[in-house]
Amino acid sequence: MNKKIALEEHFQLPSYQPDPVNLLGKITEQSYIAELGRRLGDPIIRLAEMDQSGIELSVLSLTTPGIQGEIDPIQAVRRARQMNDELFETFIRPYSNRFAGFAALPLQDPKAAVEEMTRVVRDMGFKGAMINGFSNNGGPEKGEYLDEEKVLPFWEAVAKLEVPVYIHPRMPLEGQRRIYDGYPVLMGSAWGFGVETATHALRLILSGLFDRFPNIKIVLGHFGETLPYAASRIDHRLQFHTRESRGKQKGKVIDYLRKNFYFTTSGFSHDQALMNAVSEIGTDHLLFSADYPFEDLREASTWFDRSPLSESDRQKIAYQNAKALLKL
């Protein structure tokens, strides 16, 4: 199937080498890491694989933890601007019909994040932002989440610009990793990524953010990090808690998931997971993605092209929903 649009596709260039040592690099096969490095920064390799997979457009974002991993706010601001400019010059400007961008933003300084997002959306045509979970600020053990009061100016700008925000996983703060002791592989994409990101999304819902800004759109990968599957259980249990403890939101969790959230197929080539998301969320808020280069474009595309969808739903998930969301 041609004309697919992919939204969770990552890049990193040699000019950006994050300071923190990435634990994933210690527990991952080195041949896999080397291959990732080759693909992350090369538009020619990427375009060839997109052509083989029927992907017309890839929306690129700085790989995790990206700017969220910076502990110095001043450096975060500088590096965010640098990476957005290099994404534009390396991928988007020379291949404007094949690549688009999600902004990397320094949420360590929400005012600067607003300025940078406004710049790249209005001046460079970026389609929204990719936030890699909580933002470190002042040290590796200091994490700030997107529901906190200081971030409200950012959400006001998002609502005004009418662009989506993609929340991407990262490993939990070091002080929250005791449960993974002895099993570090569970901290990453196999398990911990999804738990961390699903909890972050629930914080946004329970904070009342979407009642305050009803037009905000959030994108989550991996079929919503289990949230479509778990929403009925969450709503059922919340009713037994006090009004003060169960959040500021006015509606049910599932209502916000269906209205304010979009879910991609990234890294999850599985028929049963797809059909669960369809039954809980519907096809209007599902989007194709691959999670390149961490996943294989051709494998993700081959699965999707053969998945048990009607052709009208396949077209919606492949590209029609993305066109509407990103205003393409």
Does 34 score more than 90 pLDDT? no
pTM of the model: 0.95
Report the first-to-last Cα separation within the chain, whole angstroms.
Answer: 19
CA distance 81 to 112: 10
Tens of pLDDT, residues 72-119: 999 999 999 999 999 999 999 999 999 999 999 999 999 999 999 999
Cα–Cα distances (Å) from 321 to 26, 50, 283, 288, in that order, read 38, 19, 9, 9
pLDDT at 16: 84
Tens of pLDDT, residues 242-258: 888 888 999 999 999 99
Q: What is the DSSP letter of 217?
A: -
pLDDT at 26: 64
What rounded mean pLDDT belongs to the chain? 94
Q: Which two tokens stand for residue 8?
A: 């969770």
pLDDT at 23: 54
Proportion of the chain above pLDDT 70, given as a percent: 97
Categorize the per-residue pLDDT at 20 as very low, low, confident or very high, splitting at 50, 70 and 90: very low
Question: Pick from 163, 284, 171, 270: which is nearest to 223 by CA?
Answer: 270
Question: Pick from 233, 235, 225, 308: which is nearest to 267 by CA?
Answer: 225
Residue by residue, what is the 3-state secondary structure of 1-23? CCCEEEEEEEECCCCCCCCCCCH
**Residue 30 or 121, more confident:** 121
Residues in contact with 107: Cβ distance below 8 Å, sequence separation at least 6, in sequence order: 67, 68, 113, 131, 135, 144, 146, 151, 154
CA distance 69 to 131: 11
Categorize the per-residue pLDDT at 38 as very low, low, confident or very high, splitting at 50, 70 and 90: confident
What architecture is the 4-326 domain classified under in CATH? Alpha-Beta Barrel (3.20)
Question: Pick from 141, 183, 197, 191: which is nearest to 20 by CA?
Answer: 141
Q: Which two tokens stand for residue 194?
A: 């999804």
Tens of pLDDT, residues 135-184: 999 988 999 999 999 999 999 999 999 999 999 999 999 899 999 999 99
Across the range 11-24, mean pLDDT stands at 70
* Opening angle at CA 149, ends 144 and 155, nearest 5: 90
pLDDT at 18: 63
Tens of pLDDT, residues 176-219: 999 999 999 899 999 999 999 999 999 999 999 999 999 999 99
Q: Which of 109, 291, 296, 305 is catalytic?
A: 291
Sign of the dihedral through C-alpha 312, 291, 85, 149: positive
Across the range 227-236, mean pLDDT stands at 96
3-state class (DSSP) for residue 32: helix
Token pair 């209502």 is found at 255
CA distance 322 to 4: 9
pLDDT at 246: 83
Categorize the per-residue pLDDT at 310 as very low, low, confident or very high, splitting at 50, 70 and 90: very high
> Do the Cβ atoms of 248 and 208 come closer than 8 Å?
yes
pLDDT at 261: 98
Q: What is the CA radius of gyration of the chain?
A: 19
Q: Where are the domains of the chain?
A: 4-326
pLDDT at 21: 42
- Residue 66, judged by CB atoms within 10 A of its CB (0-12, 13-18, 19+), counts as buried
Does 241 score more than 90 pLDDT? no
* 270 Rama class: left (phi>0) / alpha (psi -120 to 50) / beta: beta
Token pair 């290099």 is found at 86
Task: For strands 218-220 and 261-264, give the pairing.
Answer: parallel
Asked about 284 being catalytic, the answer comes back as: no
Categorize the per-residue pLDDT at 31 as very low, low, confident or very high, splitting at 50, 70 and 90: confident
Which ranges of 41-127 does DSSP label H, i.e. alpha helix? 43-53, 73-87, 110-124
Categorize the per-residue pLDDT at 133 as very low, low, confident or very high, splitting at 50, 70 and 90: very high
